Each structure stands twice: as C-alpha cells, then as structure tokens.
Amino acid sequence: MSKRRRRIEVLVESLAAGGDGVARGEDGRVTFVPRAAPGDRLLVSLIQERKQFARGKLVKVLEPSELRVVAKCKLFADERCGGCQWQHIEQETQGAAKQLIVEAGLRKAIARGLECAPLLEPCPPWQWRRRARFSFWAGGPRVLGFFPQGDKKITDVQECPQLEAGLQAALTAIRTHLLPGLSARGEVSAVLGANGASHVSVHGSASRKSVEALAADPAISGVSHGTRTMGKADVQLEGGVLATADRFAQASAAGNEALCSEVENAVGPVAGLRVLELFAGSGNFTRLFSDASEVVAIEAAPIPKGEYAGGARWIQGDAATRAAELVKAGERFDVVLLDPPRSGAKDVLDSIVALTPKRVVYVSCDVATLARDIEVLVAKGYKAVRAQPIDLMPQTAQVEVVAVLELA
C-alpha cells in the first residue's frame, strides 16, 4: 500500500520565481504550492518534505484571497494545461510579483548600487501570443495541444485565450487539415507574420496530402516538413526580420517592440563603435545597430539566407568557442550584447572580459542565472548599473530583464 500523504493548512505569503505560491504552515516551514494566490488559506497535500522546505499540491481553497480571480480558460481551471501559471491571479498582483522576483534575485547587485527600474508591461493580458509549439499524439484518438504540468499526456486544445487571432486561425487550420494526417508522436510549431498569415513547421510523421491541404489554407503562408517546404519558406516580423516556426522568436509582437527599444537604449549610441552580439538568433537585435562601425553577430544555428541584418558580420558557431577565437585573434569591442538561453552565459564570460568592452548589455529570461553571471562580471571589474524588468508573457511567471554593466 502506498503511504498516504500528509495534509496541512497553510497561509500563502507571496509568489516565487517559477510561479508557485510561497506558504507557511503552523511549524513555520516554507511550503511551495502551485496555483496559489497571496492571502489564500489552503489545505495542501505534501508531495515532498525537506528540513527547510516542502512542496505541496492544492487540495482545497479554505479561504480565498481577495487577489484570486476566476480563470479565463477552463483547461487551466481543470489543471489540464501547463502553459500558464497565474490565470487565477489578478493582473496587478502578477506585475508586482514579477517586480519582487527580479529585485530578490538581484539583491546583491542592488545592494552595490544597481538601479532596478519598475516593470514594463507592454502586452495585453490576453491574445498576445504570436508563436506557439503544439505537441501531438496519434497512437489512438488524435490529440494536438499542450502538456499539463508534470504530466506526459497531451491535453487536446482547440482554442487558447493567449493566442493572437491570426495564430488561433492557424491552430484551427492545423487541426482541420493536418491533424487527420498525423501519425505517431511529434510537434507542430507556428509563428504569425506581420501580414497576418502563419508559417508552420511539422516535426513528425504526416501525410503529404494533409501538409498540402494545410499549406493551401489562407491562414497559412507556408509549411515546412522535413526537407520539404510548401508555400513560403518563412514569414516577416517587425523590422524586416525573417522567421520560421521552428526557430526562436519573441512570443509577443508588442513585447518584442518594447524589448528592442529597451535594448537599444541600454546599448546607447553606437556610431563609430564596434559591437559584438552573442546568441544573435535571427537578427532581432542586430538590426538595431546599423550605425555602428562594425557589428559581429555570433549564432549557433545556421543563418538562413536573407537574415544578414544591419550589415553585420555573422559567425556561425557556439558562442563560447567563437568568442574565444575572437580573443585569440586580438579583437576588441566597445559593446557586447548577449541574449543567452535560460541556462545563462557562464562559459562565455571570461572571453567577454578579455574583449574589454566598456559596456555589457545582458538580456535574460532567468533572473537566477543573470544574477550568477553578474556576480562573475562584477568580480572581474564591471559595475552593474541598471536592470529593466519587462513582462512579455502575462498569465505566466516568466519575466525578461535587460541589465547594463559598465567597466568600473
């Protein structure tokens, strides 16, 4: 027989990075609880217990917080979709929580004089998403959608309140034309272009007939499936940047516009300067620095034809390896801009320092790894000057930060 999990009552005090509520029981121990709101009194089942903390699953809301609201999406309310963490929390509280999460993560730098600016909120609360990745399973009844948190069974999703209208139209087209021709397991990604049509990328087994039918739908500009492309090979986003569904692009157009503006301000005037961009992607930021004397952009993924934004010199390869080669070649830069993955940039920090930039602009989607890397740069002679949090993904716990460091 399995051991019955212990149940306790807790009072939720705040929200943590990742989205869980931070609660305390009668013994004072911190307990992390998903789908909690500050001020809730909850009955939770303990699924993990440690000396310093515990993790619990919400069993019942005993006394709801005044900050708790009715979730807009039934799939979220039924705990069948893991795409959002905070639909049950009113919008102002979400923003305040993200501000506190960033300030707590950067507390050491703030103590040394870092200015943490107020959170920017450029996106509407709903229908902000222009890019999405759906999983499918066709081993029985065909389903296409998202995974619930901690579950391996896909929830079938016909509509999502986070999707822009054009991307919702793409999802409808995918379900109508492509889903009947899918087999086994795989993924379907879609990105909405500035012209209102979406590019779709299919990873998995699909019949040619279903792919052709999808490509012919007015909501779709083109489809890639393996080595085949039907229709257009990409879509254009703002600023002329070309995007394909299977490559990263910021999930919100309004959010990306605000992010680019903040990056441009953080880098400052670049006329006559040499700029190095690491983890350059498809040139989303690269295009902002056409006034520089030279821009060198390093990206691990192949750079598709036509994406040589801003006259930059593109170098394909791992950021740490290519940056080390620039150091060995004796190159120097006035500004380094980097936008690494969630794991951060610890492998490239020594090279950044050796390239002697007067300014480093670090774009991060994870405040913990940002804080870790800032401490390394500070130890090597840089001063953390300013951090700007930006809410690019409402109803989730995600927060972007643009940090500026200057050579001390």
- Give the burial class of 289: count Cβ atoms within 10 A of its Cβ; 0-12 exposed, 13-18 middle, 19 or more buried: buried
Please report which helix (H) or strand (E) contains residue 262, including its range: helix 253-267
Question: Locate tokens 């007939």: which residue?
Answer: 209
349 contacts 342 by C-beta, under 8 angstroms: no
Structure tokens at 134: 């759906």
Amino acid in the structure at residue 178: L
* Number of CB atoms found within 10 A of residue 321's CB: 14
Active-site entry in 81, 84, 123, 365: 365
Task: Dump the DSSP string for 121-135.
Answer: --S-SSS-B-EEEEE
363 contacts 64 by C-beta, under 8 angstroms: no
Dihedral sign computed on CA atoms, order 258, 264, 267, 269: negative
Is 81 among the residues known to form the active site?
Answer: no
Which of the 8 DSSP states describes residue 91? H
Query: For the chain, first and last CA: distance in Å?
Result: 62
**Which among 197, 228, 222 is positioned nearest to 214, based on CA atoms?**
222
Please report which helix (H) or strand (E) contains residue 283, including its range: none
Please report which helix (H) or strand (E) contains residue 98, including its range: helix 91-105
Rounded to whole angstroms, the Cα distance separating 316 from 181 reads 36
**Which among 156, 161, 151 is positioned nearest to 174, based on CA atoms?**
156
106 contacts 370 by C-beta, under 8 angstroms: yes
Residues with a catalytic annotation lie at 365
